[in-house]
A and B are shown apart, each in its own frame.
Chain A
Amino acid sequence: MKIMVAIKRVIDYAVKIRVKPDKSGVVTQNVKMSMNPFCEIALEEALRMRESGLASEVVAVTMGPSQCLDTLRTGLAMGADRGIHVDSTSALHPLHVAKILMNLVQIEKPSLIILGKQAIDDDCNQTGQMVAGLLNWPQGTFASKVVLDKEKEEVTVDREVDDGIETVQLKLPAVITTDLRLNQPRYATLPNIMKAKSKPIKKFTPQELNVEIKSDLEIVEVTEPPKRKAGVMVSSVDDLIDKLKNEAKVI
C-alpha cells in the first residue's frame, strides 16, 4: 500500500510576519521558511504506518517554486521514500492543489492521501476536503487518531470537532487531514539528511498534469490588522477589580 503526503513550504511558525508597504502581500524575502507544521504531522503519521508494516511506500509531494525542493528534501530526510515536485511559479490556490493531487493519484495510485488540516500562511483548511471531493474518496479531517486496518481496507479516524471527538470509519482509498494532536513529528538526523540527497524526486508542471492555473480569486489588498490600544499594568487584585467594574464595565 502506498501513501501520498502533501507538504507545503510556508513562513516559519515562529516568525512575526510583516505586511508589505504596497499592501500586495507579506514580506517573504529573507524570512525563515519551513515545512508547514501540520504537514510534518501528516508525514510523520505516514512514516509510522510504513514502519509498522501497514504501508510499503511513502511519497511526498510538494508544489510551488524551486525553493520548495528544500522542503521536499526535509521530508525525504524525515523518511519519505521519494518525492514529487510540481514546479509552478504562479500562486496556487487550494482548488489548484487539489486538482494537481487528483491527477497525481491517477499516476501514483496511492491508497491513502494524508495532508495537514491547514497551512499556517493562508489558513484555508480546504485542500484535503477538496481533493477528497474531486476523487469522490471519503475524508477524515482534523484527525487526532488514525487506526489502519489493512485486511479490511478500512481506516478509523478520531476527529477533533467543536464539541469533542468524533469517530468515523472510512473505506480505502481515503483522504486524511491531520490535527496537532495526532503525533509528535521526528527530527531528521544528519545521516538521514545526507541520505535524502540521493533519493529520487520526480518533476512535473501543472500543464503536464493537465491542470490549468486559472484563478477565480483575486487578492485586492493585504493589510495589517487594527492595533489594540495600549493597555495598563495594575498593581493589585483590588485595582484590577476596580478597573473591570468602573472603567471597562464588564463585571
Chain B
Amino acid sequence: MATTRMILRAIKKRPFLFPASSHSFSSSRHGSTLVVAEHDSGAVKPHSLSAVTAATSLAGNGNSSVSVLLAGSGPSLHQAASHAASSHPSVSQVLIADSEKFKSPLAEPWAKLVHLVQQQGGYSHIIAASNSFGKNIMPRAAALLDVSPITDVTGISDAQTFVRPIYAGNALCTVRYTGSNPCILTIRSTSFPVPQKSNDSKAEASISQVNLSNFDEALIIFFWISADLNKSRYIYQTSQDDEGPDLGNARVVITGGRALKNAENFKLIENLAKKLGGAVGATRAAVDAGFVPNDLQVGQTGKIVAPELYMAFGVSGAIQHLAGMRDSKVIVAVNNDADAPIFQVADYGLVGDLFEVIPELLEKLPEKK
C-alpha cells in the first residue's frame, strides 16, 4: 500500500504533456476539415467518399476548405489522389503520405500520421468513415491529440453539434463538442450518401506530399513513455471471393438467419440476392453457426446497412440486429412465427416457411434488367 501511495504521488507531480495546443473552439470561426481516406485499386473507397460528403456539409456551416489525406505507396496511391482531387468541388487539397509504412492499415503508424498532419495543418475537424478502418485508427489519433472523438455520426447540425445513435439505435443523442481543435468524427456512411458525379465540376484540387521527415522521431506523449513504432506487424488478410455488390453500399440486401439451418441452405439466400442484384447479409446466429463468414453480419456489432430493399428470411429481429438495418427504405420479413419482432419494423410481412417462399420468389420474380 505504501508503494502504491508513492507511485500515486509520483504521478501527481508529473505534468500532463499533451502535444495538442489548446486553442479554444470559439476563437476560430472558420475552420478546415481533413478527411482521412482509404483507397483501393487507384480509387477512393465509397465509405471515404461519404466522409467527404460529411465534410462538405460542414463546409456549408462556415468551414472553408476540405483536405483529403491518402496514404500508402505505389502508382495506385497517385491514381487515388487524382480521383480524390476531382471527387467533389469542395475538396481543395489532397495530401499524400507516400511510404511503405502505410501499406497496411495498422493503427500505430496511421494514428501517428493523423497526429503529424494535424500538427502541420491545424484542422478544426478530422473525419473518417465509421468502418473497421476508421474505428481502429481515429480514437487512437484522438487520444494522441487529447480530444474526445465522436463515433458513428448520422447527422451534422452545425460545426460543433452532431447526432449519433446510442443503445443500438434505440435512441438518438445530440452532442455538442466544446473541446479544443480538432473535433474528430467518424461518420456512418449510409447517412451521408455520395452524390452522382456531375460533369460541371471541372475544378481539381491541388495534390501535395506530406512531409514525413519527422515521422520517425519519437512521439512523446508523457515523458516516461518511450515511443517505438515497430511494436506491431501486419501478417495477412483473408480475401473473400467477392462477386456482387458490397454489403455496405448495396441497393438490395437479402439476409438469412438461424432458420436457414445450415450453410448449404444459405445458398437459397445467395441465389435470391443474385437474382435481385443484391448483397447477402446474415444475423449473428447465422455467423456463429458457421453458415457464412463474419463480414456478412448486419447489426450493432456488424455492418450497418440502409438499402432501398432489405429482405429478411428467418430472422427474428433482435434489438441488436435491427440496429443494423432499421434505416432501410423498404423492409420485407418472411418468418414462420407471426409474433417475431421483425414484423414490427417490416413494411411487408409474410408468415410462411422460407423453404417454400424463397423458391417461389426465385421462380416468380422478374429477371433483373
A124 on the B face (CB < 8 A)? yes
Which of A123, A140, A161 is in CB contact (< 8 Å) with B165?
A123
B156 on the A face (CB < 8 A)? no
Are A162 and B348 in contact, CB atoms less than 8 angstroms apart? no
Which of B108, B170, B179 is in CB contact (< 8 Å) with A216?
B179
How far does the Cβ of B252 sit from chain A's closest Cβ, in whole Å? Answer: 8
A74 on the B face (CB < 8 A)? no
Chain B residues within 8 Å of A160, by CB: 132, 294-295
Question: How would you classify the secondary structure of chain B's contact residues: helix, strand, loop or mixed?
Answer: mixed
| CB-CB under 8 A for A171 and B231, given A11-B167, A123-B168, A241-B361 | yes
User: What is the CA–CA distance of A59 and B252 in the complex, to the nearest angstrom?
Assistant: 46
Number of interface residues of B (CB under 8 A): 104
Are B343 and A216 in contact, CB atoms less than 8 angstroms apart? no
How far does the Cβ of B191 sit from chain A's closest Cβ, in whole Å? Answer: 12
Of the four ranges (under 10, 10 to 19, 20 to 34, 35 or more), the interface on chain A belongs to 35 or more
Q: Which stretch in B81-89, B135-143, B255-263 binds the other chain?
A: B135-143
B228 on the A face (CB < 8 A)? yes
Which of A19, A117, A216, A222 is in CB contact (< 8 Å) with B180?
A216
Query: How many A-B residue pairs lie within 8 Å, measured between CB atoms?
Result: 282
A1 on the B face (CB < 8 A)? no
Are A126 and B139 in contact, CB atoms less than 8 angstroms apart? yes
B119 on the A face (CB < 8 A)? no
Which of B178, B236, B239 is in CB contact (< 8 Å) with A217?
B178
Interface residues of B (CB under 8 A from A): 4, 7-8, 11-12, 14, 105-108, 111, 131-133, 135-144, 146-152, 161, 164-180, 219, 221-222, 224-228, 230-240, 242, 248, 252, 276, 284, 287-288, 293-295, 300-301, 303, 308-309, 319-320, 326, 329-332, 343, 345-351, 357, 360-361, 364-366
Are B171 and A19 in contact, CB atoms less than 8 angstroms apart? yes
Q: Which stretch in A49-57, A64-72, A190-198, A231-239 binds the other chain?
A: A231-239
Additional A-B contact list (15), CB under 8 Å, known A136-B227, A231-B348? A129-B135, A129-B138, A133-B143, A135-B225, A139-B140, A160-B294, A162-B303, A168-B232, A171-B230, A181-B287, A234-B350, A236-B350, A244-B309, A248-B309, A250-B330
